[in-house]
Amino acid sequence: MRVDIDTLAANFLYPLVCNASVGITNVSDNGFIRIWPNPAGNWFTVTCTGYQLTAIQLLDVQGRLLSGKQPVGNAAVFERGSLRAGLYLVRMIQQNGEVISRKVVLE
């Protein structure tokens, strides 16, 4: 009879217990976010339904705040101005403090 020692050691000496969860809990995603047009030219609109937003912000990929708007009816329009073509982040801050981020591409 042949006994595989690696399997024997793995089964008896090093029990594997997988009861830990990985990820973020308690994130509510019961709303709808739309950024259009995306990719954008000279302007883009952010609309949100199902969220109570206090601010909508535009950041570069390094996290620097470029522009901020107070949503009007859970929507805000951003104009490109002097921003270069590339990837940007739209950060939406809810009344309960939760933050939602989405990407927008400027052409």
Q: What is the pLDDT of residue 21?
A: 47
CB atoms within 10 A of CB 67: 14
Tokens of 50: 């199902």
* Residues in the chain, pLDDT under 50: 10, 14, 16-27
pTM given for the model? 0.71
Q: What is the pLDDT of residue 24?
A: 46
Contact (CB, 8 A) for 45 and 33: no
Q: What is the pLDDT of residue 64?
A: 97
Q: What is the pLDDT of residue 51?
A: 87
Tokens of 4: 């595989």
Cis-peptide, bond into residue 71, ω within 30° of zero: no
Distance CA 107, CA 34 (A): 18
List residues bridging with 18 in a β-sheet.
none
